[in-house]
Every structure is written in structure tokens, then in C-alpha cells.
Chain A
Amino acid sequence: MDAATYSGRYSDGQTAATRPVQVTLAATAVEIALVDKSEPERWTYTKLRAAAPVSWRDNEVLLRSIEAPGATLFVPDPGFASAVLKHSPRLSVSAHRWRYAAPGLAITAAFILGITAIYALQLHPAQAVANVIPHALREAIGRKAMAELTGDHRECTSAEGTKALDTLVGELSKASESGKLFSVRVVNWDLVNAFAVPGEQIVISGGLIEAAKSADEVAGVLAHEMGHGIELHPEAGIIRSMGVSALIQLLAGGNTGSLTNVGALLLELRYSREAEHEADTHALRILKNADISPKPFGDFFKRLMKIESGGSSNSDSSSKAQSSADTAIFSTHPPTPERAKMATDAATYPGKPSLSDMDWRALKAICE
């Protein structure tokens, strides 16, 4: 065994005194010869710690041991570093590097695994949070979002139109069997669009009512939005978007950034295909309970798809002019052939008209 001795300095951790010592590297431990003790103090190699990662080129090494808390051993001898590394490779720069990187890599791996699991197992953390938000808070958020969404646009409130709308909404709310009373507002927008807003609230545009050929088509859209409301999709959407930004801030070191307009957030929300399917399922159930045929709902989809594809089969100049401006609904609730087919396929019963002709005319004129 290498019997070389090195001169070092030892402090016991009780006081800041230091004393010169002779250090020997024995088979399993560093042996420190103290003047006042007959037996040397032994620091096992596996329990050694270095003040900084030790390189074989180092001229000095500062050691401590978890066996002797507080005590330190400083060896300013050029040969000591490479000699002690042979016995205790865990003090080396490379071993140190790995020990340092391991926790961070493990946490990152766990984090990525967690995110993957959320997707793979189709867990919906945002949805779970949405479910525990008190109704009063959801409603307050919804009111605010509604105000921001409608912005400078006038709300359409003709007396007759409102009455007709209330009739339709009341009937659909009841048919939804959700125990929720929806509140629907029409906004004087040219765009064809409809949104569910937190707190069982819905906004539809005047443009959508204009584009609809019957009250049943509007009923279908409303039932679909109610489906989103029942499933708390808008709430979950807002939470998800904010959760993601909070997460990014956490990773970026916790800078609290600014938040965008909630209305704008809702406008940009894209529901997943799955969420759209859930809302459609609710819509068809609501329509069935209300004894309204889903066929017009499907027809409405088909017509919207034609507008999107350039209105080629429709020579009507007015609808052509609308084609580019009116497609806002495509970004929030993309109508697809599958969705149209699902509605058409559900049309196994004749149904009754959702509104009388007079009420439908009143609703059509709600923005006038």
C-alpha cells in the first residue's frame, strides 16, 4: 500500500483553531495523526466530502467527513489530490458532475413523464379544477368575459325578439336536464359566431341568426353551446391556458407576467375534437328532449362548410361576399362532415318547430 504521508492542517469544528497534522492514505481511510492522541483519526474514503470537485492536477484539497461533523482537513500538497482520488473516486470532477446533474435530470424526466401521462391517460387537470370553482365565481368571470367579448358592439334587445329568444332558451334549458338556467345574449356582429362563456352564459352573433334559415338551426347551435356550458369547457379552457402560462413562468424562474384580456382568450380558445363531440352529444340529447329535429342543425353545418370552401355551389352574390368575413365560427367550432353527418343521422324523428313563424320572424329582427 502507498504509505506516503502528507502534511496538512486540521480543525476540529469546535473552534477556529488549526493544527499541523500528518496525513496517511491507508487502505480504507484517510488517517490523521493528532499530537494529543495516540490513535490517528480515521476518515473512511466513502464518507469523504470535498469543498470543491477534486481534479488530479489540484495542488490543494480541503476535505471533511460525515463521520466527523464540523472537522476539516486541508492538505496543500501537490501529490495528495491524485493519490486521494485513487481511493475515493467519488470526489472527482466527473463523479461530482453526475451527482449534480442527476436530481435535475430526474426531476425533468418525472415532469415530462407526468405531462405525457396526462395526455396518454386523457386526464383533464384543468377540467378537474373547473369543477371545484364556486358557481358565483364562474358567473362573475363569465359576466366580465361577456363584457369584454361584446366590447363596443351593441347588444340586440328588441322586445319581441328577446321574448322569442327567452322562450327558446327556456325550453332548451329545461330539455338539457342539467338543472342549469342558461342566459343567452345576441350581439350585433356581422360574423357568424357563437361562444359559451363561463357561468352558463352564451353569446351568439346577429350574423349567425341572419345566416340561419330556421329557428331549428339556431336551436341546434344553442344546444351545442349549452353542451359546452354543461361540461364547463370554457372554464376549463381559461384554466388550461393560464395553467400553461403559470408553468412557463415557473420554469422561467417565476416572473409574473401580464394577463391578456379574458374575452380575447375565449375568442382564441380551440376546443378539442373530443370536447366538440361531447357538446354535440349534449346538443342532440337536448334537441331530442325538446322534440326538435336535429336535421336543420346538420344542414346548417353543411351550409357553413360550403361558405368556407368558397360558396362555389351558391351563386347568391350576398353569401359570396360574406364568405371570407363570416367564417369566425370555423376557428372556434370547426364544422366537419362527421359532425354534420352525426346530426343528420340523429334525425330519426320528425320533431316540432322550435318557434312559431311569428316568433322566428321576431328573433330574426332582434338586431333591428
Chain B
Amino acid sequence: MSDIASAAGPATPPTGETATISWSGNPWSMAGLGAINVLLTIITLGIYHFWAKTEVRRRLVSSIRVNSEPIEYTGTGMELFLGFLLIFAIILLPVLVLVVVARLVLGEAGAIVLLPVYGFFIYLWGVAVYRARRYRRSRLRWRGIRGAMTGSSWGYGWGSLWSSLLIGMTWGWITPWRDNYLHRRLLNDTRFGDRPFLYSGQPGPMYGAYALAWVGQLVAFFVILGIGAAVLYPIATPLIDAVTKATGSEGSIDWKSPEFEGQWPLIAGLIAAGYGFLGLYAIAWSLIWNLFYAREYSYFVSETRLEGLRFDLKVSAWSMFWLFFSNTLMSILTLTILSPVAEARVARYFVQRLSSTGSIDFAGIAQSQQKIGRTGEGLAEAFDIEASSYFILSI
């Protein structure tokens, strides 16, 4: 490797190393771990969840190589567990008691306290995203050097809250702007050792893909609706006649009418076909939106710098769709036993498509001086935030 050749000795520290990002290992080697994790989680009434998650992260992260040296995840299950207990005690339990007491004293009207509670939770969601990321960064090491986050989770939570209010108001069109705004806040706070990541993206270049996906979902909807109607209408004609005849003068349908004799297989078939078209739309919808996300992720990465390194991510909507679709299917069919394999496949997918250009003086990067928190991502646990693609993307 080039870095070994240049590292002749400590007297002449290597300057201008390149960074080759690679993946080592087979995602399917996590299958056994998945079975053990599910078993232990059941035996411990769910408590093992935190350790299970930690071990998956350890194995997964150590498969990621930079200049063929692995990244290390140093978080522990106990940190996650204590973090969750802390959040349960200081936030979830008091809120639960508040909601219960309001409900007991005010009855149905007690639901009014839910409004500020929901607002508070949306705010906390953003805070949780930031804090989970900070925890993970502080537990990732490469050549012994930690990652870090230097900003305030409360400020980020606020930015996330107010910008989320604009999503509905703009029919979603704020999304590229908002994603860019939040990603910039996160990435510019991120450090490797004492060096900052720099993100210089603008929302503009993502709007083309967004418009395509936004219009595409409507087009897909009407096309599939049209095809569905054209295919099913002729088949359904006898049934429509039967319904018309069986409809009484008051407009109510007599389902016991002899008109429906022998029609039940047709009814069942039509319902199944209806669901079939709905499923088709769900697939089309997901595929179309991956056009936007593929563009967004690639753009995020292309506008990221670390010292002299620039990055590049080559993902496509189709391959991303297939990855998430097959992963979802795999996790569901195996009752989450294979979800570590699914996570590893996501990690491998992004890592193998990620590359860097330029060079960096690793010897000049000193250890992070940020304090390391004792407990992990309690809030994110509480909200079950699992942004694994994000997690990998922004290492």
C-alpha cells in the first residue's frame, strides 16, 4: 500500500496520503448473529436490544476500511441502556404522568395537553437525531482518532422543528431546501479528530430531481389508476349490474339478494386485484422517490470536504430501491432475524460506491479534544431513530 511506503519513519511524517475507502467481508456472515440477537432479546424481555444493536454496529463498522485499515466502533450496550433509562426517567415518565393525570381529571378534554406534548416531541426528535449522531461520532475511531460533533443539539432541534412546519405548507417543496439546511448544520459540526468536515452544498441542484419525483408520483398514480380501471371495469360489469339491482329505494344495498349468487369469487378477485394495483403503486412511488434520494445523497457527498479530500458517491435510484425493497422483504420474512444482514448490505452498498480524490495529511490530524458523553442516544432510542444510511453516509 502507498501509505506504508511513505511511512518510512516518525522523523519524516507522511504528507499527502490519499484515502481509499473499501468494504471487507460478507453481509451474510451476520446471519448467525441475527439469530442469537433475537433469541437473547426475547430471553431478556427486550433488554438485550441495546447490546444486540451495539454488536451489529461493531461488526459492521469494522468492515469499513480506509486505506485498508478498519474503522472501530467503541460504543457499549450499557451506554445505550443507561441513556435510554435516563431519558425514560427524565422525559418519558413525567410526560406519561402528565398525560395520564390530564386524562384522568379532564377526561376526553384532557387530550388538549397532547398538543404541546406532540410539539415538544417533534422538537425532541431533532434534538435526538443530533445527539445520536454525536454519540456515534464520538465512538467511531480510525487509527485511534475519534470523530466528534461540536455544535448544540438544542439549536439543531429548533431548526428541525420550524423547518418541519413548512413541509405541509409548501406541499413538500421545501424538502430539498430543508434537507440541505439540516445536512449543512450536521456536517459542518462534524469533526475527524481536530479537523472539520466542510459542506458547501446549495439546495438548487437538488430541485430538478425533486420536481421529477414530485410530478412522477402523480403521473404514476393516474397511469396506474387508469390501467386498473381499464382492466377491471369490463370484468366488474356484471357485479355493478347486480349492485344496481340489489340497491333498495333508500339507497342501501341488500347483500343477501339473489343477484349476488355465484358472484363472490368475482368480488374476492376484484378486491385482490385492487390490492395488487395498490401494491404496484407503492412500488412505483418508492422507485420514483429514490430518484430524488439518489441525487440528494450523491450531491451531499460531492459537496463534502475533509482537508484536501473530496468525496464521490455513485448510487442509482434503481439499485437503491432494490436494496431497500429486498432488505425489507428479508427482514419481514425472517421476523427480523436477518436484519443485521440487511444493515450490512446497506453499509456495503454505500461504502463500495464511495470514493475520494485529493490528499490529506493524516499525521497532522490530532486527537479530538471534545468531551465524550457517558451515555448513549437515549432520546433516539426512545423515538427509535434508525437512520442507518445516514449513519454510514456521514462517517
Give Cα distance in the complex from A101 to B250, angstroms.
66
CB distance from B339 to the nearest CB of A (A): 15
Which residues in A have their C-beta under 8 angstroms from that of B93?
Answer: 246
Assess whether A256 is in contact with B92, with CB atoms less than 8 Å apart. yes
Which residues in B have their C-beta under 8 angstroms from that of A108?
Answer: 43-45, 47
Given the interface pairs A51-B73, A144-B105, A238-B104, the reply to whether A252 lies near B46 with Cβ below 8 Å is yes
Query: A114 within 8 Å of B by Cβ?
Result: no
Which residues in A have their C-beta under 8 angstroms from that of B366?
Answer: 14-15
Fill in one digit per residue for B204-221: 1 if any A CB lies within 8 Å of its CB, else 0: 000000000000000000
Give Cα distance in the complex from A145 to B14, angstroms.
75
Contact of B45 among A36, A111, A141, A249 (CB under 8 A): A111
Fill in one digit per residue for B34-52: 1 if any A CB lies within 8 Å of its CB, else 0: 0010001001111111110
Which residues in A have their C-beta under 8 angstroms from that of B203?
Answer: none
Assess whether A52 is in contact with B104, with CB atoms less than 8 Å apart. no
CB distance from B109 to the nearest CB of A (A): 10
Contact of B144 among A71, A111, A246 (CB under 8 A): A71
Fill in one digit per residue for A121-161: 1 if any B CB lies within 8 Å of its CB, else 0: 00000000000000001001100110110000000000000
- Which of A17-25, A218-226, A317-325, A360-368 binds B? A17-25
Fill in one digit per residue for B100-118: 1 if any A CB lies within 8 Å of its CB, else 0: 1101111100000000000
Assess whether A18 is in contact with B44, with CB atoms less than 8 Å apart. no
Give Cα distance in the complex from A105 to B36, angstroms.
14
Query: B143 within 8 Å of A by Cβ?
Result: yes
Assess whether B44 is in contact with A250, with CB atoms less than 8 Å apart. no
Assess whether A51 is in contact with B58, with CB atoms less than 8 Å apart. yes
Assess whether A16 is in contact with B363, with CB atoms less than 8 Å apart. yes
Question: Which residues of chain B from 350 to 370 have a CB within 8 Å of any chain A CB?
Answer: 362-367
B interface, over-half SS: helix
Which residues in B have their C-beta under 8 angstroms from that of A238?
Answer: 104
Query: A350 within 8 Å of B by Cβ?
Result: no
Give Cα distance in the complex from A249 to B93, angstroms.
11
Contact of B72 among A72, A100, A140 (CB under 8 A): A72
Query: B241 within 8 Å of A by Cβ?
Result: no
CB distance from A121 to the nearest CB of B (A): 22
Given the interface pairs A52-B62, A100-B77, the reply to whether A15 lies near B381 with Cβ below 8 Å is no
Assess whether B78 is in contact with A20, with CB atoms less than 8 Å apart. no
When C-beta atoms are compared, the residue in chain A nearest to B363 turns out to be A17
CB distance from A59 to the nearest CB of B (A): 9
Contact of A259 among B7, B62, B72, B100 (CB under 8 A): B100
CB distance from B65 to the nearest CB of A (A): 9
CB distance from B152 to the nearest CB of A (A): 24
Query: A35 within 8 Å of B by Cβ?
Result: yes
Query: A41 within 8 Å of B by Cβ?
Result: no
Give Cα distance in the complex from A53 to B54, angstroms.
12
Residue among A53, A62, A104, A148 facing the most chain B CB atoms (10 A cut-off)? A104
Give Cα distance in the complex from A74 to B68, angstroms.
10
Query: B96 within 8 Å of A by Cβ?
Result: yes
- Which of A5-13, A167-175, A339-347 binds B? A5-13
CB distance from A137 to the nearest CB of B (A): 7
Given the interface pairs A62-B72, A74-B69, the reply to whether A16 lies near B47 with Cβ below 8 Å is no
Assess whether A74 is in contact with B70, with CB atoms less than 8 Å apart. yes
Residue among B50, B81, B93, B141 facing the most chain A CB atoms (10 A cut-off)? B141
CB distance from B378 to the nearest CB of A (A): 10
When C-beta atoms are compared, the residue in chain A nearest to B101 turns out to be A137
Which residues in B have their C-beta under 8 angstroms from that of A9?
Answer: 4, 69
Query: A262 within 8 Å of B by Cβ?
Result: yes
Query: B193 within 8 Å of A by Cβ?
Result: yes
Residue among B43, B55, B142, B144 facing the most chain A CB atoms (10 A cut-off)? B144
CB distance from B261 to the nearest CB of A (A): 39
Question: Which residues of chain B from 180 to 233 have a CB within 8 Å of any chain A CB?
Answer: 192-193
Residue among A16, A72, A108 facing the most chain B CB atoms (10 A cut-off)? A16
Query: B84 within 8 Å of A by Cβ?
Result: yes
Question: Which residues of chain B from 265 to 323 have a CB within 8 Å of any chain A CB?
Answer: none
Assess whether B144 is in contact with A60, with CB atoms less than 8 Å apart. no
Give Cα distance in the complex from A148 to B70, angstroms.
62
Assess whether B77 is in contact with A103, with CB atoms less than 8 Å apart. yes
Query: A179 within 8 Å of B by Cβ?
Result: no
Assess whether A141 is in contact with B104, with CB atoms less than 8 Å apart. yes
Give Cα distance in the complex from A71 to B144, angstroms.
5
Assess whether B104 is in contact with A144, with CB atoms less than 8 Å apart. yes
Assess whether A259 is in contact with B103, with CB atoms less than 8 Å apart. yes
Query: A107 within 8 Å of B by Cβ?
Result: yes
- 5 further A-B contacts with Cβ under 8 Å, apart from A62-B69, A111-B47, are A18-B143, A51-B62, A74-B70, A140-B104, A254-B382
The contact sample of 13 A-B pairs, CB cut-off 8 A, is A15-B364, A16-B192, A16-B362, A20-B4, A64-B72, A108-B45, A148-B107, A252-B46, A253-B46, A253-B384, A254-B84, A256-B95, A256-B96
